[in-house]
Amino acid sequence: MSVWRDVIGQDAAIATLRRAVEDPAAMTHAWLFTGPPGSGRSVAARAFAAALQCPQGGCGECRECRTALDGSHADVDVIATEGLSIKVDLARDLVQLAALRPSVGRWRIIVIEDADRLTAYSEAPANALLKALEEPTPRTIWILCAPSLEDVMITIRSRSRHLRLRTPPLEAVAELLHRRDGVDEGMAMYAARAAQSHVGLARRLARDEGARIRRRDITRLPTLIRGVPEAVAAAADLAKLAEEETGAASAERDSAERQRLLEVLGADPAARTQPSHIRSQLAALEKDQKGRATRQARDVLDRSLLDLLSVYRDALVLHTGAPIGLVNQDSAALVQELARAMTPEQLLAAMDAIGTARERIGVNVTPLLALEAMAISLRLPR
């Protein structure tokens, strides 16, 4: 047993972190963990936090380790946002928190899981952290996580020590799913491959039949788009699939949160109109929920587009004859059909179109419109 058990396929990074835990001279007060989505940035950050708090340097068994790993340690604060961005007020609160001495543990550790989202309205939230990052309080450790170095501003980059995580190998992901979540081996391998080593996604695919069906529907699209009307229809389908995935879960959660807020405020949930001070609280909650819904819709859509992209990538792999495995090995016939229908240039153009759509959706272009423009570029040549 060790805290590093679930940090898979990151031997080099783990070695660096272990050395930092063991040797005070190799330690740094501000870290920046980068790695592709699903590579386990936040898992690594928590494991590092646990190892720092643990008297034995990360046994994985003691109270310190367990509480740090599951996020309930008094001196380990994990900040993650489900909204579009982290606001400056929260960043300022963190700076204050960072000035406090640890209460029970050896270090006060602040983990920001979405350092790339320190961007509410401007760079102000990121700027608020600079001073604290540069002149640390003794015994305070910052761990920032972001997909890549380019996602955080240069002034944060220069104040922190960079640790790069790589995409974990398929086998490692499958092994983790098998060991930790009890998924059988064949399914674990399929999920790891289809999710392209994204651990969280692979887990979802392995355990949720609906997610597998949605993925299959998406990977079938490329061979169906022949003309403009089909393209527009396919875009509508994609948007609808994403909406379905977002809608059901969040509606339930939204109403539960509302119920809870009303309870906390001592308001009557059955009242037709609430008094004004309660209305303002409800309005604030709804605003948060709306931000969360936008983020979730975007994330789901982005994932769908990645699934779509994987089909074109596979077709291109077939063309070049490169000795690498296919992402969509289970639907090889479909990939072959696509490879026959399109030249490598056309495949690359299609992949570019998907990339453009992802970029556009990220900056608030109407998703349906971006998808339509993309689908029209994906038409099969006649």
Partner 1 sequence: MTETVDVPSRVPPLVLITGPESLLAERALASILDELRVTTPDLEVVRLHPATYEPGALAAHTAPSLFGGDKAIVVHDLDEAPEELQQDLLSYLAAPLEPGVTLVVGHKSGQRGKKVLDTLKKSRARILEAPLVKSDRDKSDFATHEFRAARRRVTPEAVAALVDAVGKDLRELAAACQQLVADTTGVIDDKTVERYHGGKVEATGFRVADAALAGDTGEALRLVRHAIATGLDPVPIVAVLAQQLRQLVRVGGAGRGRSADIARELGMAPWQVDRARRALGGWTSDALGRCIQAVAAADFEVKGGGRDPVYAVERVLLTITRERHAG
The residue among 183, 180, 196, 130 whose CA lies nearest residue 158 is 130
Does 224 participate in binding partner 1 (rule CB under 8 A)?
no
What is the C-alpha separation between 203 and 217, in angstroms, rounded? 19
Q: Which of 93, 230, 254, 302 binds partner 1 (CB under 8 A)?
A: 230
Does 293 participate in binding partner 1 (rule CB under 8 A)?
no
Determine the length of the chain: 382
Does 288 participate in binding partner 1 (rule CB under 8 A)?
no
Does 349 participate in binding partner 1 (rule CB under 8 A)?
no
| Residue 138 identity (one-letter amino acid) | P
Does 358 participate in binding partner 1 (rule CB under 8 A)?
no
Does 231 participate in binding partner 1 (rule CB under 8 A)?
yes
* C-beta closer to partner 1: residue 2 or 346: 346
Residue 85 CB, shortest distance to partner 1, in Å, is 15
Q: Which of 294, 331, 377, 380 binds partner 1 (CB under 8 A)?
A: 377
* C-beta closer to partner 1: residue 318 or 369: 369
Strand order across the beta sheet in which 76-79 lies? 76-79, 108-112, 140-146, 30-34, 161-164
Residue 268 CB, shortest distance to partner 1, in Å, is 14
Residue 232 CB, shortest distance to partner 1, in Å, is 5
Does 227 participate in binding partner 1 (rule CB under 8 A)?
yes
* C-beta closer to partner 1: residue 138 or 277: 277
236: how many CB neighbours lie within 10 A of its CB?
14
Does 228 participate in binding partner 1 (rule CB under 8 A)?
yes
Does 229 participate in binding partner 1 (rule CB under 8 A)?
yes
The answer to whether the CB of 47 falls within 8 A of the CB of 16 is no
Residue 362 CB, shortest distance to partner 1, in Å, is 10
Does 234 participate in binding partner 1 (rule CB under 8 A)?
no
Does 360 participate in binding partner 1 (rule CB under 8 A)?
yes
What is the C-alpha separation between 82 and 32, in angstroms, rounded? 20
Q: How many residues of this chain bind partner 1 (CB under 8 A)?
A: 20
* C-beta closer to partner 1: residue 104 or 283: 283
* C-beta closer to partner 1: residue 74 or 348: 348
Does 343 participate in binding partner 1 (rule CB under 8 A)?
no
Residue 120 CB, shortest distance to partner 1, in Å, is 16
Does 318 participate in binding partner 1 (rule CB under 8 A)?
no
Does 370 participate in binding partner 1 (rule CB under 8 A)?
yes
The span from the first CA to the last CA of the chain, in angstroms, equals 58
Does 278 participate in binding partner 1 (rule CB under 8 A)?
no
Rule CB under 8 A: which residues touch partner 1? 227-233, 360, 363-366, 368-370, 372-373, 376-377, 379
